[in-house]
A and B are shown apart, each in its own frame.
Chain A
Amino acid sequence: MLQSVVKSFNCVLLSVVFSAPLAFAELVELNEGELALFRGQAAKSSVVSFKEPDAQQSQSLQSGLGPVSAQSSVTQSSSVPSAGITLDIDLQMHIDEIRWVDVDGAGPNGTQGAVSIRGLSIGHLDDINNPAPAQIRGVTMDVDGRDGLVIGIGQIGDTQGNGIDMYIESVQFR
Protein backbone atom coordinates (compact mmCIF):
# COMPACT_ATOMS: atom_id res chain seq x y z
CA MET A 1 0.00 0.00 0.00
CA LEU A 2 2.77 2.29 0.79
CA GLN A 3 4.29 1.66 -2.56
CA SER A 4 1.05 2.56 -4.24
CA VAL A 5 0.81 5.81 -2.35
CA VAL A 6 4.32 6.70 -3.31
CA LYS A 7 3.64 5.89 -6.89
CA SER A 8 0.52 8.06 -6.90
CA PHE A 9 2.42 10.92 -5.48
CA ASN A 10 5.14 10.57 -8.03
CA CYS A 11 2.60 10.64 -10.79
CA VAL A 12 1.10 13.85 -9.53
CA LEU A 13 4.48 15.41 -9.13
CA LEU A 14 5.58 14.46 -12.56
CA SER A 15 2.40 15.77 -14.12
CA VAL A 16 2.86 19.12 -12.43
CA VAL A 17 6.46 19.36 -13.49
CA PHE A 18 5.73 18.60 -17.12
CA SER A 19 2.53 20.59 -17.44
CA ALA A 20 3.89 23.79 -15.91
CA PRO A 21 5.84 24.83 -19.01
CA LEU A 22 2.84 24.03 -21.18
CA ALA A 23 0.38 26.34 -19.25
CA PHE A 24 1.08 30.02 -19.76
CA ALA A 25 -0.78 33.27 -20.16
CA GLU A 26 0.15 36.29 -22.08
CA LEU A 27 -0.74 39.81 -20.89
CA VAL A 28 -2.10 41.80 -23.75
CA GLU A 29 -2.44 45.58 -23.63
CA LEU A 30 -5.87 47.01 -24.11
CA ASN A 31 -6.07 49.84 -26.52
CA GLU A 32 -7.45 53.19 -25.40
CA GLY A 33 -10.84 52.60 -26.86
CA GLU A 34 -11.25 49.35 -24.95
CA LEU A 35 -9.92 50.90 -21.74
CA ALA A 36 -12.37 53.80 -21.94
CA LEU A 37 -15.28 51.38 -21.72
CA PHE A 38 -14.36 50.34 -18.20
CA ARG A 39 -14.92 52.28 -14.94
CA GLY A 40 -13.67 51.59 -11.44
CA GLN A 41 -16.24 51.69 -8.65
CA ALA A 42 -15.80 54.72 -6.41
CA ALA A 43 -17.71 55.71 -3.27
CA LYS A 44 -21.06 57.32 -3.93
CA SER A 45 -20.77 61.05 -3.53
CA SER A 46 -22.68 64.14 -4.44
CA VAL A 47 -21.04 67.52 -4.77
CA VAL A 48 -22.89 70.77 -5.08
CA SER A 49 -20.82 73.52 -6.61
CA PHE A 50 -21.48 76.86 -4.95
CA LYS A 51 -20.30 78.59 -8.10
CA GLU A 52 -22.59 76.72 -10.45
CA PRO A 53 -25.63 75.85 -8.43
CA ASP A 54 -27.61 74.66 -11.43
CA ALA A 55 -24.86 72.44 -12.85
CA GLN A 56 -25.66 68.77 -13.25
CA GLN A 57 -23.25 66.60 -11.30
CA SER A 58 -22.30 63.14 -12.51
CA GLN A 59 -21.76 60.24 -10.20
CA SER A 60 -19.95 57.00 -10.45
CA LEU A 61 -22.60 54.53 -9.43
CA GLN A 62 -21.68 51.52 -11.50
CA SER A 63 -21.36 48.29 -9.58
CA GLY A 64 -18.13 46.46 -10.21
CA LEU A 65 -15.97 46.81 -13.27
CA GLY A 66 -17.67 46.76 -16.59
CA PRO A 67 -18.77 48.78 -19.56
CA VAL A 68 -20.72 51.93 -18.83
CA SER A 69 -23.88 52.27 -20.81
CA ALA A 70 -25.00 55.75 -19.67
CA GLN A 71 -23.98 58.34 -17.12
CA SER A 72 -26.44 59.05 -14.36
CA SER A 73 -26.71 62.55 -12.96
CA VAL A 74 -28.25 64.08 -9.87
CA THR A 75 -28.34 67.69 -8.73
CA GLN A 76 -28.26 67.24 -4.95
CA SER A 77 -28.40 64.26 -2.68
CA SER A 78 -31.57 64.06 -0.62
CA SER A 79 -29.45 62.93 2.32
CA VAL A 80 -27.89 66.44 2.77
CA PRO A 81 -29.69 68.16 5.66
CA SER A 82 -31.13 71.64 5.28
CA ALA A 83 -29.20 74.41 7.00
CA GLY A 84 -29.96 77.68 8.73
CA ILE A 85 -30.32 78.90 12.27
CA THR A 86 -33.54 79.77 14.08
CA LEU A 87 -33.57 81.67 17.36
CA ASP A 88 -36.39 82.09 19.83
CA ILE A 89 -35.55 84.86 22.28
CA ASP A 90 -36.93 85.98 25.60
CA LEU A 91 -35.50 89.50 25.84
CA GLN A 92 -35.11 91.46 29.04
CA MET A 93 -32.60 94.26 29.39
CA HIS A 94 -31.90 97.25 31.55
CA ILE A 95 -29.35 99.99 30.98
CA ASP A 96 -28.72 102.62 33.62
CA GLU A 97 -27.53 105.22 31.14
CA ILE A 98 -26.66 105.65 27.50
CA ARG A 99 -24.72 108.83 26.91
CA TRP A 100 -23.54 110.22 23.61
CA VAL A 101 -20.90 112.94 23.92
CA ASP A 102 -20.05 115.59 21.36
CA VAL A 103 -16.55 116.67 22.34
CA ASP A 104 -16.40 119.96 20.49
CA GLY A 105 -19.98 121.10 20.67
CA ALA A 106 -21.48 123.30 17.99
CA GLY A 107 -19.58 125.75 15.82
CA PRO A 108 -15.94 126.87 16.10
CA ASN A 109 -16.36 127.95 19.72
CA GLY A 110 -18.53 125.10 20.86
CA THR A 111 -18.20 123.33 24.18
CA GLN A 112 -18.54 119.69 25.00
CA GLY A 113 -22.11 118.51 25.32
CA ALA A 114 -23.97 115.26 25.78
CA VAL A 115 -27.36 113.59 25.31
CA SER A 116 -28.20 111.09 28.03
CA ILE A 117 -30.93 108.44 28.14
CA ARG A 118 -31.41 107.19 31.67
CA GLY A 119 -33.16 104.18 33.07
CA LEU A 120 -33.79 102.31 29.82
CA SER A 121 -35.72 99.06 30.25
CA ILE A 122 -36.71 96.64 27.51
CA GLY A 123 -38.99 93.65 27.99
CA HIS A 124 -42.58 92.96 29.03
CA LEU A 125 -43.15 95.89 31.36
CA ASP A 126 -46.82 95.89 32.32
CA ASP A 127 -45.53 96.04 35.88
CA ILE A 128 -42.37 98.17 35.74
CA ASN A 129 -41.40 96.97 39.20
CA ASN A 130 -41.56 93.34 38.12
CA PRO A 131 -40.24 93.29 34.57
CA ALA A 132 -40.53 90.13 32.52
CA PRO A 133 -38.95 89.19 29.22
CA ALA A 134 -40.58 90.02 25.90
CA GLN A 135 -40.95 87.28 23.31
CA ILE A 136 -39.25 87.30 19.91
CA ARG A 137 -39.85 84.14 17.98
CA GLY A 138 -38.59 82.69 14.72
CA VAL A 139 -35.51 84.81 14.07
CA THR A 140 -34.04 83.01 11.08
CA MET A 141 -30.56 83.41 9.68
CA ASP A 142 -29.61 81.99 6.29
CA VAL A 143 -26.65 82.57 4.05
CA ASP A 144 -27.61 82.62 0.40
CA GLY A 145 -25.24 82.59 -2.53
CA ARG A 146 -27.45 85.05 -4.37
CA ASP A 147 -29.07 87.08 -1.61
CA GLY A 148 -26.25 87.16 0.93
CA LEU A 149 -26.97 87.04 4.66
CA VAL A 150 -30.74 86.90 5.08
CA ILE A 151 -32.29 87.54 8.48
CA GLY A 152 -35.96 87.16 9.14
CA ILE A 153 -38.11 87.73 12.20
CA GLY A 154 -41.26 85.70 12.46
CA GLN A 155 -42.94 87.09 15.52
CA ILE A 156 -42.32 90.06 17.82
CA GLY A 157 -44.36 89.70 20.95
CA ASP A 158 -46.78 86.97 21.92
CA THR A 159 -50.15 85.99 20.48
CA GLN A 160 -52.07 87.98 23.11
CA GLY A 161 -50.84 91.29 21.74
CA ASN A 162 -48.03 91.75 24.24
CA GLY A 163 -45.14 93.20 22.21
CA ILE A 164 -41.82 94.60 23.27
CA ASP A 165 -42.11 97.37 25.85
CA MET A 166 -39.48 100.07 26.18
CA TYR A 167 -39.36 102.40 29.15
CA ILE A 168 -37.04 105.39 29.60
CA GLU A 169 -36.92 107.23 32.88
CA SER A 170 -35.47 110.43 31.48
CA VAL A 171 -33.71 112.04 28.54
CA GLN A 172 -31.21 114.73 29.42
CA PHE A 173 -29.17 117.27 27.53
CA ARG A 174 -25.97 118.39 29.22
Chain B
Amino acid sequence: MHNNAWKLAGGFVLLFTTLTIHAELVPLADAELSQAHAQASIELDLQIQTSIESITYEDNDGAPSGSGVGDGVAGVLGLKGVHLGSLKRPITADDFNSERPFSDNDLAIIDNLVIDVDNHEGMRINLERLGDAKGNGLDIVVQHLVLGNEDTSAGGLLIEDLSNFISDDQLAASNQLFGSQLVTVDDGLNTRGGNFIPLQAQIVTEQNSALTTAFSTGIELPTEDVTPIVGITALANATDMTINSAFALSIAKVAWVDDGGEFGLAGLLVYQGIDTDGDGIDDQVGPAQLTNLKMQTVAHTSSITGETVQAMHFSNIDFKADIAINSIYVGQPENSLGSLLIKGLDTSGTQVWMYSH
Protein backbone atom coordinates (compact mmCIF):
# COMPACT_ATOMS: atom_id res chain seq x y z
CA MET B 1 0.00 0.00 0.00
CA HIS B 2 2.90 2.23 0.78
CA ASN B 3 4.37 1.60 -2.67
CA ASN B 4 1.07 2.27 -4.32
CA ALA B 5 0.84 5.58 -2.60
CA TRP B 6 4.23 6.58 -3.91
CA LYS B 7 3.29 5.56 -7.41
CA LEU B 8 0.11 7.55 -7.20
CA ALA B 9 1.94 10.55 -5.94
CA GLY B 10 4.51 10.29 -8.69
CA GLY B 11 1.80 10.12 -11.25
CA PHE B 12 0.17 13.29 -9.93
CA VAL B 13 3.53 15.05 -9.93
CA LEU B 14 4.14 14.10 -13.51
CA LEU B 15 0.69 15.20 -14.49
CA PHE B 16 0.92 18.60 -12.87
CA THR B 17 4.45 19.11 -14.25
CA THR B 18 3.27 18.45 -17.74
CA LEU B 19 0.46 20.90 -17.34
CA THR B 20 2.68 23.67 -16.01
CA ILE B 21 5.69 23.43 -18.39
CA HIS B 22 4.91 24.53 -21.91
CA ALA B 23 6.44 26.42 -24.77
CA GLU B 24 4.87 28.43 -27.45
CA LEU B 25 6.13 28.03 -30.98
CA VAL B 26 6.43 31.35 -32.72
CA PRO B 27 6.88 31.33 -36.50
CA LEU B 28 9.94 33.13 -37.82
CA ALA B 29 9.50 35.75 -40.47
CA ASP B 30 11.07 35.08 -43.88
CA ALA B 31 13.76 37.64 -43.25
CA GLU B 32 14.74 35.93 -40.01
CA LEU B 33 14.74 32.52 -41.63
CA SER B 34 17.08 33.67 -44.38
CA GLN B 35 19.66 34.59 -41.74
CA ALA B 36 19.96 31.02 -40.56
CA HIS B 37 22.23 28.64 -42.46
CA ALA B 38 22.88 25.04 -41.70
CA GLN B 39 26.53 24.05 -41.86
CA ALA B 40 27.08 20.86 -43.73
CA SER B 41 29.71 19.28 -45.90
CA ILE B 42 31.04 15.85 -46.71
CA GLU B 43 34.53 14.98 -45.58
CA LEU B 44 36.11 11.75 -46.72
CA ASP B 45 39.25 9.88 -45.88
CA LEU B 46 39.75 7.03 -48.30
CA GLN B 47 42.11 4.15 -48.76
CA ILE B 48 41.45 2.68 -52.14
CA GLN B 49 42.37 -0.26 -54.25
CA THR B 50 40.44 -1.06 -57.39
CA SER B 51 40.59 -3.54 -60.21
CA ILE B 52 38.55 -3.14 -63.36
CA GLU B 53 38.57 -5.88 -65.97
CA SER B 54 37.93 -3.54 -68.88
CA ILE B 55 36.70 -0.10 -69.85
CA THR B 56 35.68 0.08 -73.48
CA TYR B 57 34.31 2.57 -75.97
CA GLU B 58 32.70 1.00 -79.02
CA ASP B 59 32.53 2.62 -82.44
CA ASN B 60 29.94 0.49 -84.16
CA ASP B 61 30.63 1.68 -87.71
CA GLY B 62 34.41 2.00 -87.69
CA ALA B 63 36.21 4.41 -89.96
CA PRO B 64 35.32 4.91 -93.62
CA SER B 65 38.13 3.87 -95.88
CA GLY B 66 39.26 5.79 -98.90
CA SER B 67 36.43 4.35 -100.92
CA GLY B 68 33.82 6.19 -98.90
CA VAL B 69 31.27 5.95 -96.15
CA GLY B 70 29.89 2.69 -94.84
CA ASP B 71 32.79 0.32 -95.32
CA GLY B 72 34.33 0.69 -91.88
CA VAL B 73 34.62 -2.18 -89.43
CA ALA B 74 33.27 -1.77 -85.92
CA GLY B 75 36.10 -1.25 -83.46
CA VAL B 76 36.83 -0.92 -79.77
CA LEU B 77 38.89 1.62 -77.87
CA GLY B 78 39.63 0.10 -74.50
CA LEU B 79 41.61 -0.27 -71.34
CA LYS B 80 41.97 -3.81 -70.06
CA GLY B 81 43.39 -4.95 -66.76
CA VAL B 82 43.04 -1.65 -64.91
CA HIS B 83 44.41 -1.69 -61.36
CA LEU B 84 44.61 1.16 -58.85
CA GLY B 85 46.51 1.03 -55.58
CA SER B 86 49.81 2.10 -54.09
CA LEU B 87 53.03 0.12 -53.88
CA LYS B 88 55.59 1.54 -51.48
CA ARG B 89 58.37 0.79 -53.95
CA PRO B 90 58.94 1.12 -57.70
CA ILE B 91 56.70 -1.08 -59.81
CA THR B 92 58.58 -3.85 -61.57
CA ALA B 93 57.73 -5.59 -64.82
CA ASP B 94 56.53 -8.61 -62.83
CA ASP B 95 54.23 -6.37 -60.80
CA PHE B 96 52.89 -4.79 -63.98
CA ASN B 97 52.10 -8.10 -65.65
CA SER B 98 50.78 -9.80 -62.54
CA GLU B 99 47.13 -10.74 -62.32
CA ARG B 100 47.10 -8.85 -59.04
CA PRO B 101 49.71 -6.08 -59.00
CA PHE B 102 48.60 -4.83 -55.57
CA SER B 103 48.22 -6.88 -52.42
CA ASP B 104 45.60 -6.19 -49.75
CA ASN B 105 47.85 -3.71 -47.95
CA ASP B 106 48.79 -1.69 -51.01
CA LEU B 107 46.15 0.97 -50.60
CA ALA B 108 46.25 4.47 -52.10
CA ILE B 109 45.58 7.23 -49.61
CA ILE B 110 43.09 10.03 -50.21
CA ASP B 111 42.82 12.14 -47.08
CA ASN B 112 40.60 15.06 -46.16
CA LEU B 113 38.48 15.23 -49.30
CA VAL B 114 35.88 17.88 -48.55
CA ILE B 115 32.79 18.45 -50.69
CA ASP B 116 30.58 21.48 -50.11
CA VAL B 117 27.51 22.54 -52.03
CA ASP B 118 26.46 26.18 -52.07
CA ASN B 119 23.47 27.79 -53.73
CA HIS B 120 25.64 30.52 -55.23
CA GLU B 121 29.09 28.97 -55.34
CA GLY B 122 28.01 25.59 -56.70
CA MET B 123 29.92 22.50 -55.66
CA ARG B 124 33.34 22.99 -54.15
CA ILE B 125 35.81 20.14 -53.81
CA ASN B 126 39.01 20.38 -51.82
CA LEU B 127 41.48 17.52 -51.55
CA GLU B 128 44.23 18.03 -49.02
CA ARG B 129 46.27 14.88 -49.50
CA LEU B 130 46.60 12.45 -52.40
CA GLY B 131 49.22 9.95 -51.28
CA ASP B 132 51.38 10.02 -48.19
CA ALA B 133 54.12 12.37 -47.05
CA LYS B 134 56.82 10.07 -48.38
CA GLY B 135 55.74 10.52 -51.96
CA ASN B 136 53.85 7.22 -52.23
CA GLY B 137 50.93 8.30 -54.34
CA LEU B 138 48.33 6.63 -56.49
CA ASP B 139 49.63 3.94 -58.85
CA ILE B 140 47.63 3.18 -61.98
CA VAL B 141 48.33 0.07 -64.03
CA VAL B 142 46.61 -0.46 -67.37
CA GLN B 143 47.86 -3.77 -68.67
CA HIS B 144 46.48 -3.53 -72.19
CA LEU B 145 45.46 -0.69 -74.47
CA VAL B 146 43.04 -1.71 -77.21
CA LEU B 147 43.00 0.39 -80.34
CA GLY B 148 40.48 -1.08 -82.74
CA ASN B 149 40.80 -4.84 -82.65
CA GLU B 150 39.66 -6.19 -79.32
CA ASP B 151 41.95 -9.21 -79.63
CA THR B 152 45.19 -7.27 -79.96
CA SER B 153 47.04 -5.18 -77.42
CA ALA B 154 48.84 -1.92 -78.14
CA GLY B 155 50.90 -2.23 -74.97
CA GLY B 156 50.07 -0.93 -71.53
CA LEU B 157 50.16 2.24 -69.50
CA LEU B 158 51.79 2.90 -66.15
CA ILE B 159 51.28 5.93 -63.93
CA GLU B 160 53.36 5.69 -60.78
CA ASP B 161 52.99 7.74 -57.59
CA LEU B 162 50.47 10.32 -58.72
CA SER B 163 50.38 12.74 -55.79
CA ASN B 164 49.95 16.36 -54.72
CA PHE B 165 52.94 16.05 -52.40
CA ILE B 166 55.82 18.03 -53.85
CA SER B 167 58.96 16.58 -52.32
CA ASP B 168 62.01 18.67 -51.62
CA ASP B 169 64.20 16.13 -53.41
CA GLN B 170 62.19 16.24 -56.62
CA LEU B 171 62.05 20.01 -56.53
CA ALA B 172 65.79 20.22 -55.96
CA ALA B 173 66.43 17.99 -58.98
CA SER B 174 64.12 20.14 -61.10
CA ASN B 175 65.77 23.35 -59.89
CA GLN B 176 69.19 21.98 -60.73
CA LEU B 177 68.14 20.93 -64.23
CA PHE B 178 66.31 24.09 -65.19
CA GLY B 179 68.15 26.71 -63.18
CA SER B 180 65.12 27.63 -61.10
CA GLN B 181 64.80 28.47 -57.41
CA LEU B 182 61.42 27.11 -56.54
CA VAL B 183 60.29 26.21 -53.03
CA THR B 184 56.99 24.98 -51.65
CA VAL B 185 54.90 26.74 -49.04
CA ASP B 186 54.52 25.12 -45.63
CA ASP B 187 51.30 23.16 -45.78
CA GLY B 188 50.74 23.37 -42.03
CA LEU B 189 50.61 19.56 -41.78
CA ASN B 190 54.01 19.20 -40.15
CA THR B 191 55.27 17.18 -43.11
CA ARG B 192 58.97 16.59 -43.61
CA GLY B 193 60.74 16.50 -46.89
CA GLY B 194 58.13 18.43 -48.80
CA ASN B 195 54.63 19.88 -48.73
CA PHE B 196 51.17 19.11 -49.98
CA ILE B 197 49.45 21.54 -52.32
CA PRO B 198 45.66 21.14 -52.12
CA LEU B 199 43.66 20.14 -55.18
CA GLN B 200 40.65 22.41 -55.58
CA ALA B 201 37.72 22.39 -57.94
CA GLN B 202 34.52 24.36 -58.25
CA ILE B 203 31.60 23.41 -60.45
CA VAL B 204 28.88 25.97 -60.94
CA THR B 205 25.71 25.50 -62.92
CA GLU B 206 24.16 28.62 -64.34
CA GLN B 207 20.81 29.37 -65.84
CA ASN B 208 20.88 31.76 -68.72
CA SER B 209 18.46 34.62 -69.24
CA ALA B 210 16.24 32.56 -71.58
CA LEU B 211 15.47 30.19 -68.76
CA THR B 212 14.56 33.02 -66.43
CA THR B 213 12.25 34.43 -69.07
CA ALA B 214 10.62 31.07 -69.68
CA PHE B 215 9.75 30.50 -66.08
CA SER B 216 8.52 34.03 -65.53
CA THR B 217 6.31 34.24 -68.60
CA GLY B 218 5.41 30.57 -69.01
CA ILE B 219 6.87 30.46 -72.54
CA GLU B 220 7.85 26.95 -73.53
CA LEU B 221 11.38 26.70 -74.91
CA PRO B 222 12.05 24.69 -78.09
CA THR B 223 12.55 21.05 -77.22
CA GLU B 224 14.31 19.66 -80.26
CA ASP B 225 15.18 16.03 -79.64
CA VAL B 226 14.47 16.45 -75.94
CA THR B 227 11.75 14.38 -74.34
CA PRO B 228 9.67 16.84 -72.34
CA ILE B 229 9.75 16.36 -68.61
CA VAL B 230 7.36 18.60 -66.77
CA GLY B 231 9.21 21.59 -65.31
CA ILE B 232 12.62 20.28 -66.38
CA THR B 233 12.60 20.77 -70.17
CA ALA B 234 13.75 24.34 -69.95
CA LEU B 235 16.58 23.33 -67.59
CA ALA B 236 17.80 20.69 -70.03
CA ASN B 237 18.11 23.27 -72.77
CA ALA B 238 19.40 26.27 -70.89
CA THR B 239 21.81 25.26 -68.13
CA ASP B 240 25.54 25.86 -68.44
CA MET B 241 28.27 24.41 -66.32
CA THR B 242 31.40 26.32 -65.41
CA ILE B 243 34.46 24.64 -63.95
CA ASN B 244 37.35 26.18 -62.05
CA SER B 245 40.24 24.08 -60.84
CA ALA B 246 43.62 24.57 -59.21
CA PHE B 247 46.07 21.75 -58.68
CA ALA B 248 49.72 20.79 -58.49
CA LEU B 249 50.73 17.25 -59.31
CA SER B 250 53.83 15.19 -58.95
CA ILE B 251 54.11 11.96 -60.91
CA ALA B 252 57.10 9.69 -60.53
CA LYS B 253 56.55 8.01 -63.88
CA VAL B 254 54.17 8.01 -66.82
CA ALA B 255 55.10 5.31 -69.29
CA TRP B 256 53.86 3.33 -72.22
CA VAL B 257 54.87 -0.25 -71.52
CA ASP B 258 55.49 -2.72 -74.29
CA ASP B 259 56.97 -6.21 -73.82
CA GLY B 260 58.87 -5.16 -70.71
CA GLY B 261 60.32 -2.04 -72.26
CA GLU B 262 59.09 1.45 -71.51
CA PHE B 263 58.87 4.83 -73.18
CA GLY B 264 58.01 7.44 -70.67
CA LEU B 265 58.38 10.54 -68.59
CA ALA B 266 60.01 10.41 -65.16
CA GLY B 267 59.86 13.06 -62.48
CA LEU B 268 56.90 14.96 -63.87
CA LEU B 269 55.68 18.11 -62.14
CA VAL B 270 52.58 20.07 -63.15
CA TYR B 271 52.36 23.39 -61.31
CA GLN B 272 52.51 27.12 -61.83
CA GLY B 273 55.45 29.14 -60.63
CA ILE B 274 54.71 32.26 -58.60
CA ASP B 275 56.92 35.34 -58.44
CA THR B 276 56.33 36.50 -54.88
CA ASP B 277 58.91 39.28 -54.76
CA GLY B 278 58.33 40.86 -58.15
CA ASP B 279 61.82 40.28 -59.52
CA GLY B 280 60.57 38.48 -62.60
CA ILE B 281 61.79 35.10 -61.36
CA ASP B 282 59.38 32.49 -60.06
CA ASP B 283 60.33 31.44 -56.55
CA GLN B 284 57.34 29.52 -55.26
CA VAL B 285 55.45 26.45 -56.45
CA GLY B 286 51.77 27.23 -56.90
CA PRO B 287 48.90 25.34 -58.48
CA ALA B 288 48.24 25.08 -62.20
CA GLN B 289 44.89 26.68 -62.96
CA LEU B 290 41.91 25.99 -65.15
CA THR B 291 39.74 29.10 -65.09
CA ASN B 292 36.10 29.42 -66.04
CA LEU B 293 35.90 26.47 -68.42
CA LYS B 294 32.33 26.61 -69.65
CA MET B 295 30.47 23.55 -70.95
CA GLN B 296 27.11 23.65 -72.65
CA THR B 297 25.22 21.99 -75.47
CA VAL B 298 24.59 24.26 -78.42
CA ALA B 299 23.31 24.15 -81.98
CA HIS B 300 26.36 24.02 -84.25
CA THR B 301 27.00 23.74 -87.96
CA SER B 302 28.80 20.50 -88.73
CA SER B 303 31.98 21.08 -90.67
CA ILE B 304 31.54 17.63 -92.24
CA THR B 305 27.98 17.84 -93.55
CA GLY B 306 27.00 21.49 -93.12
CA GLU B 307 23.93 20.43 -91.18
CA THR B 308 22.92 21.84 -87.83
CA VAL B 309 23.84 19.44 -85.06
CA GLN B 310 23.83 19.44 -81.30
CA ALA B 311 27.38 19.88 -80.06
CA MET B 312 29.07 19.99 -76.69
CA HIS B 313 30.80 23.37 -76.56
CA PHE B 314 33.84 23.83 -74.34
CA SER B 315 34.47 27.55 -74.35
CA ASN B 316 37.21 29.52 -72.65
CA ILE B 317 39.66 26.65 -72.16
CA ASP B 318 41.89 28.88 -70.05
CA PHE B 319 44.60 26.61 -68.65
CA LYS B 320 47.81 28.01 -67.23
CA ALA B 321 50.61 25.76 -66.06
CA ASP B 322 54.29 25.00 -65.96
CA ILE B 323 55.34 21.44 -66.72
CA ALA B 324 58.72 20.07 -65.72
CA ILE B 325 59.87 16.65 -66.85
CA ASN B 326 63.11 15.47 -65.28
CA SER B 327 63.65 12.67 -67.79
CA ILE B 328 62.23 11.56 -71.10
CA TYR B 329 63.44 8.01 -71.48
CA VAL B 330 63.39 4.83 -73.47
CA GLY B 331 63.81 1.53 -71.62
CA GLN B 332 64.46 2.80 -68.10
CA PRO B 333 64.55 6.32 -66.59
CA GLU B 334 68.35 6.17 -66.51
CA ASN B 335 68.38 6.00 -70.31
CA SER B 336 67.35 9.60 -70.64
CA LEU B 337 66.79 11.44 -73.88
CA GLY B 338 66.91 14.68 -71.94
CA SER B 339 64.83 16.85 -69.67
CA LEU B 340 62.04 19.18 -70.72
CA LEU B 341 60.53 22.32 -69.22
CA ILE B 342 57.36 23.93 -70.57
CA LYS B 343 57.04 27.24 -68.80
CA GLY B 344 54.11 29.60 -68.93
CA LEU B 345 51.68 27.43 -70.91
CA ASP B 346 48.55 29.50 -71.58
CA THR B 347 45.66 28.21 -73.66
CA SER B 348 43.20 31.05 -73.07
CA GLY B 349 41.18 31.79 -76.21
CA THR B 350 40.92 28.13 -77.15
CA GLN B 351 37.50 26.54 -77.55
CA VAL B 352 36.24 23.19 -78.85
CA TRP B 353 32.97 21.90 -80.26
CA MET B 354 32.45 18.16 -80.02
CA TYR B 355 29.73 16.26 -81.88
CA SER B 356 29.06 12.97 -83.55
CA HIS B 357 29.36 12.00 -87.19
Contacts and interface: CB of A to CB of B under 8 A. Distances in A.
A148 B149 contact: yes
A132 B353 CA distance: 17
Q: How large is the interface on B (under 10, 10 to 19, 20 to 34, 35 or more residues)?
A: 35 or more
Interface in B70-92: 72-77
A95 B64 CA distance: 37
Contact of B350 (A90, A140, A143, A149): A90
Contact of B148 (A53, A88, A93, A143): A143
B37 interface: no
A82 B148 CA distance: 16
B72 A142 contact: yes
20 contacts: A50-B74, A53-B74, A84-B63, A85-B356, A86-B354, A88-B353, A89-B353, A90-B349, A90-B350, A93-B350, A94-B346, A98-B341, A103-B177, A137-B303, A144-B59, A144-B72, A145-B76, A146-B148, A147-B148, A149-B147
A16 B112 CA distance: 79
Given A50-B75, A149-B147, A143 B304 contact: no
Contacts of A149: 77, 147-148
Interface stretch (B135-143, B160-168, B332-340): B332-340
A166 interface: no
Nearest to A76: B60
Nearest to A89: B352
Given A84-B356, A93-B350, A101-B341, 15 more contacts: A48-B74, A82-B356, A84-B61, A85-B357, A86-B303, A90-B351, A92-B350, A98-B341, A101-B339, A143-B57, A143-B59, A143-B147, A144-B73, A148-B154, A150-B63
Interface in B37-82: 57-65, 72-77
A100 B339 CA distance: 6
9 residue pairs, one from A and one from B, having the closest CB atoms: A96-B344, A92-B349, A142-B63, A148-B148, A150-B63, A144-B62, A143-B75, A145-B73, A137-B303
A143 B75 CA distance: 5
Select the residue from A86, A144, A149 with max chain B CB neighbours within 10 A. Answer: A144
Nearest to A174: B179
B312 to A, nearest CB: 10
Interface string A77-110: 0001111111111111111111111110000000
A84 B350 contact: no
A87 B351 CA distance: 10
Interface in A17-54: 48, 50-51, 53
Contacts of A101: 177-178, 338-341
B76 A50 contact: yes
- Give the interface size class of chain A: 35 or more
Contacts of B148: 143-149
Nearest to B152: A148
Nearest to B72: A144
B212 interface: no
A97 B340 CA distance: 10
A133 interface: yes
B300 interface: yes
Contacts of A90: 349-352
B207 interface: no
A83 B351 CA distance: 23
A138 B355 CA distance: 10
Contact of B58 (A83, A89, A103, A137): A83
B15 interface: no
Contact of B354 (A80, A87, A93): A87
A64 B263 CA distance: 60
Interface in A134-162: 137-138, 140, 142-150, 154-155
Contact of B304 (A83, A97, A140, A148): A140
B191 interface: no
Contact of A103 (B57, B339, B350, B355): B339
A131 interface: yes
